[in-house]
């Protein structure tokens, strides 16, 4: 009888820990641009809340926070102000290295490209930039745009000179950089950016494309990732599973309803672009919404080669195991 009571007590204790370890509020960060469209769908369609209830997790409250760049997102995760963050591959890899793997990616958010646009007619290549020019990107040295610039510079001037243009980069949110570049009244003469800002800027007669990440990376790459601490993942595995399946559902909805997805993006972003333009961008073969990671280690390898990170990871070390399950790995 005593053993039975003890066993029951241990079971009850374990059960209580499991119940209370699972959070009832999920805080997720997003940023600006079409790369974050799946998160907009999650938020507006309340997919996580719906699927959490179906999974027996009850009423999960989801809070959404918008950050201007990857560095801010990293700080938010480390400070505990958010549970899941979305940011570019470059800031994620830095955070993975800084925390010695205590932060990992759950999934890719999208596969896309980054383009360097300029309003200076004299700039035809990287060799044409001078100290009078300013290149806008989300976070100096840290963002994926900054890393793409360094990779391009290394290709042009040699890897020892990878940071040759870093001193003329400035941190600006993509919407603010778009305004600065197209206004003709700013010191900003170039912008390394994502969709829809790439296409919107190029509609201006004063803006032209200098280079594309497609010139540097074959087959495209995962532009943004969703990451979490290993502790949050361990304590909330069922909720993480719900998030991943909900994201997959959002991707399928976008791919089947591209015009409706464009309308939803414009409503939430409060943007003035036409539905036709955003639909055109979503249909662009360079833009894909999928959870499968693509060419992620290309960036971690480069960061290791230039001495920014101390450990050179394999893909499996960067991600939690769920993304490698059959349901997702062949997408």
Tell me the CATH number for domain 2-112+221-329.
3.40.190.10
Tell me, what's the pLDDT at 23?
Answer: 80
> CATH 3.40.190.10 occupies which residues in the chain?
2-112+221-329, 115-215
> Angle at Cα 14 formed by Cα 11 and Cα 15, nearest 5°?
85
Tell me, what's the pLDDT at 11?
Answer: 38
**Secondary structure (DSSP) of 149-192:** HHHHHHHHH-GGGTTTTGGGEEE--HHHHHHHHHHS-SS--EEE
| Residue among 211, 172, 183, 178 at smallest CA distance from 195 | 178
Tell me, what's the pLDDT at 294?
Answer: 94
Tell me, what's the pLDDT at 5?
Answer: 41
Q: Is 65 helix (H, G, I), strand (E, B) or coil?
A: strand
Please tell me the distance from the alpha carbon of residue 90 to that of residue 315, in angstroms, as a whole number.
14
| Residue among 1, 60, 17 at smallest CA distance from 241 | 60
Tell me, what's the pLDDT at 71?
Answer: 84
Please tell me the distance from the alpha carbon of residue 192 to that of residue 129, in angstroms, as a whole number.
14
Q: What's the length of the chain?
A: 331
Residue segments in the chain with a per-residue pLDDT below the cut of 50: 1-21
Report whether 94 contacts 303 (CB < 8 A): yes
Tell me, what's the pLDDT at 145?
Answer: 94
Tell me, what's the pLDDT at 331?
Answer: 55
Please tell me the distance from the alpha carbon of residue 300 to that of residue 318, in angstroms, as a whole number.
10
Tell me, what's the pLDDT at 16?
Answer: 39
**Per-chain mean pLDDT for the chain:** 91
Tell me, what's the pLDDT at 260?
Answer: 98
Topology (CATH) of 115-215: D-Maltodextrin-Binding Protein; domain 2 (3.40.190)
Task: Give percent helix, percent strand, percent coil of the chain, each to the nearest 5.
Answer: 50, 15, 30
CA distances from 256 to 250, 260, 283, 327 (A): 10, 9, 11, 19
- pTM score of the predicted model: 0.85
Q: What is the pLDDT of residues 10-38, one digit of tens each?
A: 434 433 333 444 789 999 999 888 999 99
């Amino acid at each position: 009888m005593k053993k039975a009571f003890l066993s029951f007590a241990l079971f009850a204790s374990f059960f209580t820990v499991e119940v209370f370890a699972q959070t009832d509020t999920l805080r997720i960060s997003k940023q600006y641009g079409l790369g974050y469209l799946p998160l907009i769908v999650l938020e507006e369609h309340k997919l996580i809340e719906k699927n959490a209830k179906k999974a027996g997790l009850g009423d999960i409250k989801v809070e959404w926070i918008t950050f201007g760049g990857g560095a801010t997102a990293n700080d938010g995760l480390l400070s505990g102000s958010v549970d899941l963050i979305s940011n570019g591959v470059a800031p994620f890899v830095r955070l993975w290295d800084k925390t010695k793997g205590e932060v990992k990616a759950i999934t890719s958010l999208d596969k896309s490209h980054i383009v360097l646009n300029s309003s200076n007619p004299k700039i035809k290549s990287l060799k044409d930039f001078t100290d009078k020019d300013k290149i806008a990107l989300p976070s100096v040295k840290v963002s994926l745009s900054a890393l793409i610039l360094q990779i391009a510079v290394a290709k042009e001037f040699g890897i020892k000179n990878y940071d040759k243009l870093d001193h003329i980069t400035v941190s600006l949110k993509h919407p603010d950089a778009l305004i600065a570049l197209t206004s003709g009244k700013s010191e900003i003469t170039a912008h390394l950016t994502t969709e829809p800002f790439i296409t919107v800027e190029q509609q201006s007669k004063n803006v032209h494309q200098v280079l594309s990440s497609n010139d540097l990376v074959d087959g495209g790459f995962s532009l943004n990732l969703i990451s979490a601490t290993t502790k949050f993942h361990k304590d909330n595995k069922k909720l993480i599973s719900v998030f991943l399946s909900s994201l997959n559902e959002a991707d399928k909805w976008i791919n089947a309803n591209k015009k409706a997805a464009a309308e939803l993006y414009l409503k939430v972003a409060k943007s003035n672009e036409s539905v036709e333009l955003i639909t055109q961008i979503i249909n662009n073969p360079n833009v894909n919404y999928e959870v499968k990671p693509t060419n992620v280690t290309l960036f971690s390898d480069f960061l290791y080669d230039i001495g920014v990170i101390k450990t050179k990871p394999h893909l499996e070390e960067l991600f939690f195991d769920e993304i490698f399950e059959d349901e997702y790995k062949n997408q």
